[in-house]
Each structure stands twice: as structure tokens, then as C-alpha cells.
Amino acid sequence: MKAPVATAVAMAVGIVVLVGYFIPLSIFTGLRMLLLQWAIILAGAALFVGMVNLSQHHWARIRARRGVGSAWLVFSLWATFFITFYFAPASLPTRWLFDAILLPASVALLGVLAVSLTVAAVRLPRRRPGLFTILFLTTTVLILLGSIGIPGVGSLPFVSNLLRPWLAQVPAAAGARGILLGVALGTVATGLRILLGSDRPYSE
Amino acid sequence: MASLLSALVAFIITLSVLSYVFFGDWALFRVVMYLFIGAAAGYGGAVALRSVLWPMLFRPLIFQRQLLALVPLLLVALLLTKALRGKVSRWGNVAVGYLVGVGAAVAVGGAVRGTIFPQSVATMDALNLHLAAQKGISPFEFLVTGAFMLVGTVTTLAYFHFGARPQRNRPPQRAAWITALATVGQWFIAVAFGALFAGVLLAAATALAASIGQLWQFLSILLPH
Amino acid sequence: MSDQIRCPMCGKPNPADAEVCRYCHARLKPIQPGDLPQPKPTGALEAMLPPWIRELRAESEMEEETLPLPGEKTEADGSEGAFPEGESASPEPDADDPLAALWAEEEEDEDLPDWLKSLGTEEEASAVAALAEEQAAPSAGEPPEAAEPKGAAEEEESALPDWLAGEQSAAEAEEAVLPDWLAEGVVAEPAGEPAEAAAPKGAAEEEENALPDGSVGAYQPPLVEAPSESLSASPFVESEELAEALLGETPDWLQMLAPEEESASGEKSPAEEEVAQPLTEGELPSWLEALRPVAAATSVLATDEEEPVETQGPLAGLRGVIAPPTLTTLRPGKVGVLGGKLKLSDEEERQARILQDLIAESSRPLPPSSLPDKKEQKVLRWSVGLLMLLAAFLPFFLPFLRAPLPRRVLPAAIAAQRLIDDVPQGAPVLVAVDYSPAFSAEMEAAAAPLVTDLLAKHARIVAVSTQPTGPDLISHFFAALGSDYRESEHYLNLGYLSGGTAGLYAFARHPRLVFGYAAGHDRIWNTSFLSTIHTAADFSLVLVITEDPETARAWVEQVRPALGEHTPLLMVISTQAEPLVEPYYETASQQVGGIVTGIVGGLAYEAIRGRPLTAAAQAQWGAYSNIALMGLMIIAGAGLVNLVLGWRERRNAPTLPQDEDLDDEEA
């Protein structure tokens, strides 16, 4: 058996937390909250470990003389880390970093996605000409048309007030409900496999 | 001055990132990406240390001498071995196992109580005419909508049913009635994904409009009125 | 089952007339002498030959006619004996002929049990007959050597062609250099006694005689050293001398099993009797079926000399320990060819085939037409990018290109407005600023009207986020609402909530525990914002602002059950999350009490309130609308063209694999 200790830990804490969901006994409630609190701490530590890992990876690239970009990344990483740690999040310096670097870069990246998605949608029917492609793109076009205004015209009444809401709230929502249920059932199945020890994603 | 500098940096960064559309993964874009990734990771690490580890772990341990905090301290130490190389990093599996176990339990409990039961009940209520009066819509409209919802939900679920019967000398196949339902479900899925795709495109369009607005705002400061 | 034969390599059934296995493409029928290239009729050219050659040929033909060999030896084959079909079944096996066993095979075949016949084709059965001959010899009361004594072998030599005699001489020359003890054994050792050299010789000869196809003519000299493969004793090869040659002294238990003892008693062993019983074809007993793979391919492998010497690994220096990959050295149909093959059930075979298909599918190259053309893609990206950027910039220059503001009535937005209205003055409200910074433009546009209303009601807003960038995201959000709103005065920034879904679950039930240790937060819990808060249900309203359907689902699943009936959950979401959040709004229990979706939802909410938009907001709406409109036109126009092109390409290339099976690199 791979990772027996980790498996035992995962099963034990998982079962205690899960039992607490359905059996509201005080003994479970207190223990469960304690376990959850530790999980919150661990999740924070995982975030920190992730940062250290990224730094290590790029540090190795620097030592191998393979990346000027890596040096730039390591510099920005540790500079931001020390500024944020010293001045505290939501302070003036971190607000400056957030407003000048983090926010515009991420917003612009999402903006580029608009172009990429349009290109992908254009190429799709050539790669996969078929009924489902037509249905997919027709829905896309109708939802887009119902969500915007046309210069000089405004919103198209029928599309905006009837067709788009109906599409989004009936067939799309029906499909989405099926997807949600499917995802939830899959989550339960995967979760139970983990809790029963048959699935061990934490073992290397 | 600080705000002007911030606007200038934001302008350069926005322009560099948008340049990807025309020049692809070129030098300036990469420089900005390295800066962005480094800043985001450094920020996250500092927030984790300052907002989580310090107040919830180190402070109680050092100033309040809560010995129970030694357990999460041990788990954190084990997790930190993940950042080391070699066999010692295997010790980190215990901490990861802890996180996975808790996460799985919370996910299972939440999915059962928050999605499976309520959404199943909602699907069953699709043809419950008592609700039509509550919502203030006509019974006919309610029934049509409810029928769509019911058929859509069931057939979409059928599409995700991957059970198949073994067949002699032939690959396993789904039952015929499941296949028929799944075919109908595909139509609903196509519509749902079309709506999702349009939503992502609209969100991206909003972001592009915001980026252009930011560029325009900075240019309007520089350009003579 | 007579219309099917089993592949000697993979064991799967094939039609009897198939040349090669349809599963593994191994040859099912060995190349027969008759299949080999036949001499072309060259009678017309005879006259062109010089006289001395014609004389030689005439002499040669006369000699061949006098030979007792039943087959004809062609010139083209040289040393190989190629025999016409139909003549291979000689009625009279010549005892003096070392190759006589070959001709005797067909006759022996007559005596073979049916189950042995069914093991292969005619040729395969003949190969089996050679083995049966081995078994038959001891049963006649003679040791294996007796069937082919040394003297007989010497007589054979005289009848052999020169080239074969030469080979034999070479073998004797080898014997000559053997040590005395070994040479003695070679010459005179009877069966049943240690005869390391002699037994292999006899056995090897028999084995060689049994070799059909290419090995037939290429008669190998008897080898002194026994083939190592013989160690894997086949249950069908009960050659004692072979075992002795290999094992040296015959152990007692093996002597008890010795065939001559059984034969001496004049009774067949039960096993033999069982074997001799005619079984219906295709009805092999299970034990025999199970034995088939065990029957090693010892005798069918080429001699040691032909096998490669291992040069790597722990087996370096050893010869023939791993079967060479050239399958031509194997005799199809010979019992034991399946040595080492796993016995698979039909289900396992089917699964293996599926795996093979999957691997083949994944390694199948993409058809050229479906590979992205980089140049074409670049042009497309440039065009789309240019058009969209132009569409976005123009409304800032040209106000008439700004689309009019929508006036829509959205039920979910009306529900949201009611929930906001229901919040009492100064009541605590939890606001989750839980979106990625990338979506800040859309989320701020959508949520600003609602939060502004809450601030106007002097709601005690407590802000929290599960995003690591949450603390500054919250500050940025409230700063964007206006400079009048200050932290700790109009709202409280709790910052980052770690732990994902687990953190949400704990926070909804024991928020003090989650943030209780925080430095300075113990004071915060005594402020007006949080003094009355012990669980999330103590808030008057929970407003979640998120772009991620997964985050929205986490709030619904983990927090909603803890809110009770009096605290509604209101959501401001991105358009990309709408389809997946809508079902939570549609439930009778109203898991989500109201939804404001994207920039359109924010505008609809403002429209309900009757508030005018600022010029900046109008410009942003214009840019957003134009970008989306441009995207829409491009998708509809170019998509239609591509649809036609795609269909045409498909029609022109019917063999093109289904694209559904291929990865979409753009996905």
C-alpha cells in the first residue's frame, strides 16, 4: 500500500468531518471545527509552499544560466513578498502594486481572451462542421445579440426581452442543471473513493 | 505623483499584454508576464504568511502558548518538506492527505445537501402546478417550461451515464434507451455550452473594454485637450 | 471448428483458408516447398547452352531418376529440397534416408489421433508427426537410438548427396576432437545411460528431420551441445535420452516415467491411451488446452548457433536465452509454439484489443487539412484583433457609435432589488468580494449599484474574500465606489479567508473561530460591525460577488445551509457563470434569492432604480457593446463561410477521420 500514514490520516479526518455534517452531535461539532481550523492553516501554508516552489524552480533556471526572465520573476516575487509582508495587505504600497501591476495585467489578459475566443469560434465550424456546432454557435450568437446594444438601434426587443432570457433560463439552465447534478454526483463518488482509501491523490 | 506613476506602469503593462494579439509571445510580453506571475505569487505567499499562518498558528503558539497549535505546526512542517528534494518530500504526503481528506468530506457533504437534494427536488417540481400560482405565471407556460427543464435535466444526466453492457465480440455499448436520451441531452448540452461560451466572450469583452478605457484615460491625460 | 485454425503466435481463431493471422499478421501456413519459386520453363533456351553444360545436365537428370528420393530436386533451390505438392506424402519412408521422416510424416499422420491433426494444417500435422514418431519409437520397445543407430547413420551417409555428406563429415570431425570420454559416449553409449553427446545427436537429428519449410533442406549437422531450449521439457517430447543428455544422470522419478519401461510392459500409459482416443476436433480437453502454452518451443527454435548472443544486461554472454525476434525461425503449427503465451480469457483479449486500438488511435497523425495553418491563423488573429480594438476605441472618439442603454426588466434583478430593500437600516451585511482581479471591470459594474444602495442604508458591511488577492481587491472595490467610503468606517475588510470550501464551511458556522486568533481581530469582534455576529445567519444579507461558477456553487453548498430562512443569499455574477448559477435561483426554496448578471444586470438594476449613468459608464457600455457586436458579426459571417468550407472539405476527403476523435488544439 502506498502512503499508508497519509491514507489513514485522510480517511480519519475525512470521516469525522463528514459524519459531523449529518450527525449534529456536540462531540463531533467541536472536533470537526478543530480539524477544519487546522485545514485552513494548512491551506495557507500550501499557498506559501507554492510560492517557495515557484521561486526554487526559477532559481534553478537562473543557476543553469537559462533564464533572464526567471531572474526578473524571482526579483518581482520576493520584492512583492517583502513589501506585502512588511506593510500588510491592503496598505498603500500594496494597493499601488495591485493597481499598477496585478490588476491591469490580469484584466488585459482577459481582454486578449476575447480575441482568442472569437478566432476559435470562427475556426470551429471548419474543423467540426456538424449540427451540434451549428446549435452551439447559434446559441452563442443569439445570447450575444440579446446582451448588447447596437449603435443607433439599441437592443433588439424580441431577442433581448424574450429569446435571450428564454434560452438562458430554460434550455441552457436545464442542461446546466443536468451538468450540476452530474458534477455533484461525480464529486460524491470521488470524495467517497478518497474517504474509503481507494483513491489516494496525495501519494506520489 | 504616485498615481501618475501607477497609471504609467498600468498603461505600459496593458499595452504590452494587448500586443500579444499582434506579436504573440514576444520579449516585452514575456517581461510583463514574468513580472505579473512573480508579483502574484509573492503577494499570495505574503498574504498566507501574514493573514493565516501568523495570526492562526504562530501567534497563538508564541504569545498564548496554545499547545494544541503544535499539531498544525507539525502538519505545516511536514507540508514544507514538499518544497525539499529527495525522499524527505514524501513526508509531505501526510499533510496533503489531511487536506485532501477534509476537502473530500466537505465536498461530499456540500454536494449532497447543497446540490443533489435541492436540484433533484427542483427537477421533480418542474410539473408541480401549485408552484405556478406562487410564481405568478400561467399554468400552460409553467408546464411548457417545466417540461423543458425536466427533459433537459434528465437527458443531460443520461448523457453523462457511462455504464455499458458488455457484448460478445463487440465493444460494450450503452442501453438503447440511454443512448436515445443521451442524444437528446446532447442538444441541451450544446445550448448550455453555447450560453457559457457567449458568457465568457461577454466577460472578456468587458475586460477588453476596460483595458481600452484605461489606455484612453491615460492618453487623454497626456494629449492636449 | 474445422473451418477455423488457431494462430500459432497469438492463439486466436482464424478462417482455415487464411494465409496470415488477421490479429497479429503472423503467417498461418508455412511456406511450402511448392510455394517456393519454381523454375521457369527454359526449354526454349536450352539450345543456347554450350554443349558441355547440356551434357552435364543430361547426366544429372539420369542420376536423379535413379535416386530413391521421392521428390525432385530443382536446380533453382540448390541445396534446398523443393518438392512439388502432392508428392510429399511418400508411401514408403526410406529408413536409409535421413530425410525420410519428412516423407513418412504424411503416412504417420494417418495414425495420429484426430486431436493432433486438428492442431494445425496439413503441414503442421506433418510436423507433429515427427514428434509422434519419437513417441512411437520407444513404444515399440526400442530406445530412441535404436530407431536410428550409429551404423544406420553411417549408411545414410552413403546415400546422402555430397554436400550433406560433407556436413556429416564435418560433424564427425567435430566428434574427433571431442575428449575420449565424450567421444566414447557419442559412439557407443546406449540409451538410459549418461550419453551427453550421443543423445543430443540423435535427438537433434530427429528434430532437424522434423523441420519443414526453409529448414528442411538446410540440414544442420548434428550438434554436440544440446539445445538449451530442450530443457523446457515438453509433455509431448518424452525423449529420455534428451533429458539425460541435458540433465546428466536420470533421477529416479524420471526413470519411473521412462517410456521404455511402460512400453516394456506392453501396456500404454493412461496418458497415452487418453491421447490415442480419437477426440472430436475442437474438443480438446481442458487440461490439454491448459497445457498447450506450456509446450515450449524448444524444438522449433533454430539451433543455438543461429541465435544471438546477449550483449547487454545480466544475461550478457549467454546465447539464445531470449527468443530472437525473427519469427521466421519458428515453425507454425508445431506443438509448443505458443510457449510463453499468456492464457487470456475472451474478456481480457477484448480489453487488450481496446487498448491496442486506443494506442493506435492516439498515435495516428492528424490529417494535414486539420492541422492549424500558422500563417492563416496569424492573419485571422490580426484581423479579428484589429477589428475588435477599433470597435472598442471608436465609442471614445465618436459618441454616436455608443449603443443606447438597455431598458430591460429582468426578474432576477427585481428579486435582487427587493432583497436589498428588505435589509434594515444599519443591519450587518456580509459582502464576499470573491472574484479574480481579471473580472474586476465586469464585477464592479454589476455590483456597484447594489453595494451603493447598501451603503446608503448605512448597512454594516463586512467584506471577505477567498481570493489570495482579496484584501486589496476589497479595498479597490470600495475605492471604485467613491472616495467617500472608507475602511473601518463604512465597511470592514476581513481580508483573505483561507481553506477554500472548508474555510467557507467553517466561517459560515463559526466566523469567530476562523478569524478569532487574528492579530487585532479580537478587537474587531467587539466593534459595531461584528459585535452581534456569531454565525453567518446573524447577517441580514449575504451578497456574493463572483465570476466563477465553482465559487458560486461553494457558497451555495457550504454557506447557504447555515444561513437559515431569514438570511437570503444574493449573487452578483459574471455572464460566464449565469447558466450554472441560474438553476440555484430557479429552485422553489430559492437557494439564491436574486441574481444580477454582468454589466447588463447592473444596468437593469440601475434602470429599476431610475438612476442615470455616468458618461464613463456609458462609454464603457458602448465599448463593450461594440466589441461584442464585432465578435458576433465575425463569428456569424466567417463562421458561416468556414462551415461551408468545412463541409466541402469533408465531402472531398471521405477518408478523413472524424474530427470528433481528434484533439482540438484550440480548446
CB atoms C498 and A43 under 8 Å: yes
Q: What is the pLDDT of residue A153?
A: 82
The residue type at C393: F
CB atoms A90 and C472 under 8 Å: yes
Q: What is the pLDDT of residue C521?
A: 57
Nearest CB to C438; choose among A107, A151, A169: A107
Q: Buried b / exposed e across C146-167, counting CB within 10 Å, b at 16+?
A: bbbeeeebeebbebbeeebeeb
- The CATH number of the domain where C585 resides is what? 3.40.50
A109 → chain B, closest CA residue: B17
Looking at the structure, do residues B77 and B96 belong to the same domain, yes or no?
A: yes
Looking at the structure, do residues B86 and B119 belong to the same domain, yes or no?
A: yes
Per-residue model confidence as pLDDT tens digits over A10-62: 999 999 998 887 787 777 788 888 999 999 999 999 999 999 999 999 999 89
Looking at the structure, do residues C273 and C210 belong to the same domain, yes or no?
A: yes
Above 60 in pLDDT, residue C410?
Answer: yes
Above 90 in pLDDT, residue C586?
Answer: no
d(CA B183, CA B158): 9
Q: C500: which chain B residues are within 8 Å (Cβ-Cβ)?
A: 103
Could you tell me which of C68, C71, C88, C72 has the C-alpha nearest to residue C129? C88
Above 70 in pLDDT, residue C13?
Answer: yes
Above 80 in pLDDT, residue C603?
Answer: yes
Looking at the structure, do residues C389 and C332 belong to the same domain, yes or no?
A: no
Taking phi over 0 as left and psi of -120 to 50 as alpha, with beta for the rest, A152 belongs to left
**C-alpha torsion sign, points C94, C98, C103, C105:** positive
Looking at the structure, do residues B4 and B59 belong to the same domain, yes or no?
A: yes
Reported ipTM? 0.92
Q: Which cell is A16 given?
A: 469525522
d(CA B91, CA A203): 10
Looking at the structure, do residues B98 and B185 belong to the same domain, yes or no?
A: no
For C319, the 3-state DSSP assignment is strand
CB atoms C583 and A177 under 8 Å: yes
Q: Would C285 be classed as within a structural domain? A: yes
Q: Would C320 be classed as within a structural domain? A: yes
Q: What kind and span of H or E run contains C542?
A: strand C541-546
Looking at the structure, do residues C475 and C599 belong to the same domain, yes or no?
A: yes
Looking at the structure, do residues B18 and B52 belong to the same domain, yes or no?
A: yes
What residue spans define the domains of chain A?
Answer: 8-66, 129-193
* Secondary structure (DSSP) of C81-100: ----TTSSS-SS--TT-TTH
CA-based R_g, chain C, Å: 45
Above 80 in pLDDT, residue C200?
Answer: no
d(CA B30, CA B36): 10
CB atoms A109 and C438 under 8 Å: yes
Average pLDDT, chain C: 63
Which of B65, B84, B99 is the endpoint of a domain?
Answer: B65
Looking at the structure, do residues C487 and C635 belong to the same domain, yes or no?
A: no
d(CA B14, CA C625): 21
Domain hosting C168: range is 4-346
* Secondary structure (DSSP) of C22-79: TTT--BSSPPPGGGSPPPP--GGGGGGS-HHHHHHHHHHHHHHHHS--SSPPPTTTTT
Q: What is the pLDDT of residue C169?
A: 42
Query: A126 to chain B nearest CA, in Å?
Result: 17
Looking at the structure, do residues C502 and C585 belong to the same domain, yes or no?
A: yes
Above 80 in pLDDT, residue C342?
Answer: no
Mean pLDDT of the C348-371 span? 60
End-to-end CA distance of chain B: 21
Nearest CB to B105; choose among A18, A56, A105: A18
Per-residue model confidence as pLDDT tens digits over C118-134: 434 344 444 444 444 44
Instruction: Report the domain count for chain C.
Output: 3
Which of B124, B141, B158 is the endpoint of a domain?
Answer: B124
Q: What is the pLDDT of residue C309?
A: 52
For C544, the 3-state DSSP assignment is strand
Which of B25, B47, B65 is the endpoint of a domain?
Answer: B65
Is residue C195 within 8 Å of C144, Cβ to Cβ? no
Per-residue model confidence as pLDDT tens digits over B69-93: 899 999 999 998 887 877 888 888 8
Query: A179 to chain B nearest CA, in Å?
Result: 7
Count Cβ atoms below 10 Å from residue A139 Cβ, excluding itself: 23
Which residue is it, cell 472618439? C397
Q: What is the pLDDT of residue C201?
A: 39
Above 50 in pLDDT, residue C658?
Answer: no
Mutate to test the interface with B, among A1, A80, A97, A183 (most CBs of B within 10 A): A80
Domain hosting B153: range is 128-225
Q: Would C575 be classed as within a structural domain? A: yes
Q: For helices C440-456 and A103-127, give the axis angle rounded to 10 degrees.
A: 130
Range 164-183 of B in CB contact (< 8 A) with A: none
Q: Which subunits count as partners of chain A given 3+ CB pairs below 8 Å?
A: B, C
Q: What is the pLDDT of residue B212?
A: 92
Give me the phi and psi of C252, to 5 degrees please.
-60, -45
Report the C-alpha dihedral over residues C523, C524, C530, C535, rounded to 10 degrees: -80
Banded model confidence at residue C206, pLDDT cuts 50, 70, 90: very low
Beta bridge partners of C609: none
Looking at the structure, do residues B112 and B134 belong to the same domain, yes or no?
A: no
Looking at the structure, do residues B171 and B183 belong to the same domain, yes or no?
A: yes
Distances from the Cα of C309 to the Cαs of C121, C224, C312, C317, C318, in angstroms?
Answer: 33, 18, 9, 6, 6
Looking at the structure, do residues C648 and C527 belong to the same domain, yes or no?
A: no
Query: B132 to chain C nearest CA, in Å?
Result: 11
Is residue C33 within 8 Å of C72, Cβ to Cβ? no
Q: Would C187 be classed as within a structural domain? A: yes
Above 70 in pLDDT, residue C84?
Answer: no
Query: C313 to chain A nearest CA, in Å?
Result: 29
Q: What is the pLDDT of residue C401?
A: 77
Range 157-216 of B in CB contact (< 8 A) with C: 166, 168-169, 171, 192, 195-196, 198-203, 205-210, 212-213, 216
Q: What is the pLDDT of residue B206?
A: 93
Q: What is the pLDDT of residue B24?
A: 87
d(CA C463, CA C544): 10
Looking at the structure, do residues C318 and C388 belong to the same domain, yes or no?
A: no
